Amino acid sequence: MIIDLRSDTVTKPTAEMKAFMMNAPLGDDVFGEDPSVLQLEEKAAQMFGMEAAMFCPSGTMTNQIAIKLHTQALDEVICDKLSHIYLYEVGGYAYNSSVSVNLIDGDRGRITPEQVKKAIKPEADWYPNSKLVVVENTCNKGGGSCYELDQLKALSKSCKANNLAFHLDGARLMNAHVKTGVSTGEFGAQFDSISLCLSKGLGAPIGSVLVGTKDFIKRGRKVRKVMGGGMRQAGILASACVYALDNHVERLAEDHSKAAAIGQLLESKNYVNEVLPVDTNIIIFKLNDKMPGSDFIQILENNHIKAVEFGPQMIRFVTHLDFTKGMLEKTLETLDGISL
């Protein structure tokens, strides 16, 4: 048995999901004729109370399309310094959209309206135009941290008052939804656009959706096409996403409680210096200097547990659909048995 805690992207489609995919009605989605893609897009738009949605192969693509649509060259994007769009999308904001980023030093990835206000550049020949704010919920590098709805409402209001577009990188938004009880409609009401990943904790093999206004998504389809993301019988994938939304949302609570159990154990171990608060399905902790990160990864590997280093002496575990109760027990036992 291999226990894979590297990411919640490692999940494989369940037998039920595969059966659902095999029966999905299909068509050519570049012609807008794939019933299963249309079903997913309608479902996503409705969930968030938005006008329209678009199915894409990845969350990187949905975020990059959103940045492209909300900005023009010489604009800037305001976001936290831990943001996925800044750290892990190959600098796509510069490559695809010719914009710069203005980084905020937030609280585990979460930013405030006051910080945004301070970050906005005044009008001058030598400054880029502050145009777009992007927040991440949950925040991956913040250890799966969540925003309170009031914080998002205040940010939304502040963006409107300052003529800034507001995009949510909701790769793991359903984890935040399950954790905080904030409805998808409430999330939708705060943003101009939202990107949601189905291939993380929700367990679909591939796929993200971008939601926004009709006009935004219409323009987005052209950007998706030029990026090479126009897919034909994509319903075979979209149907897995429909299945995931219908069956794999509420169970995220199990991933959260497993993560909490691991976090709690780590707090008590002498090889750990610090564990970030475990809010959802991500556990980030700092190792004691006497336990080099590569040694720790090797000890886990010897016990058939896979994990990744997430910065110097930092380790990340992510719980997910394929991380069973038995695997949790084995993981706790292994972690408990390690010492300096």
Ligand X SMILES: *Cc1c(COP(=O)(O)O)cnc(C)c1O
The residues that touch ligand X, with contacts defined as CB under 6 A, are 58-60, 63, 84, 136, 140, 169, 171, 197, 199-200, 208
Query: Closest separation between CB of residue 166 and ligand X, Å?
Result: 16
What radius of gyration, in Å, describes the C-alpha atoms of the chain? 20
Secondary structure string (H, E, C) spanning 285-313: EEECCCCCHHHHHHHHHHCCEECEECCCC
Task: Give the other-Cβ count within 10 Å of 180's Cβ.
Answer: 18
Residue among 84 and 258 whose Cβ is closer to ligand X: 84
Q: Which residue has the tokens 């998706």?
A: 224
Residue among 59 and 212 whose Cβ is closer to ligand X: 59
Query: Closest separation between CB of residue 169 and ligand X, Å?
Result: 5
The angle, 0 to 180 degrees and rounded to 10, between the axes of the packed helices 173-180 and 252-267 is 80
Pairwise CA distance, residues 78 & 93, whole Å:
11
Question: Strands, DSSP E only, in the chain?
Answer: 3-4, 52-56, 75-80, 100-104, 129-136, 165-170, 193-197, 208-212, 272-275, 282-287, 305-306, 308-309, 314-318
Ramachandran area for residue 179 (φ above 0: left; ψ -120 to 50: alpha; else beta): alpha
Residue among 120 and 238 whose Cβ is closer to ligand X: 238
Query: Closest separation between CB of residue 292 and ligand X, Å?
Result: 26
Query: Closest separation between CB of residue 23 and ligand X, Å?
Result: 25
Pairwise CA distance, residues 305 & 182, whole Å:
34
Query: Closest separation between CB of residue 12 and ligand X, Å?
Result: 16
Residue among 84 and 248 whose Cβ is closer to ligand X: 84
Residue among 120 and 165 whose Cβ is closer to ligand X: 165
Residue among 96 and 208 whose Cβ is closer to ligand X: 208
Query: Closest separation between CB of residue 1 and ligand X, Å?
Result: 26
CB closest to ligand X, residue no: 59
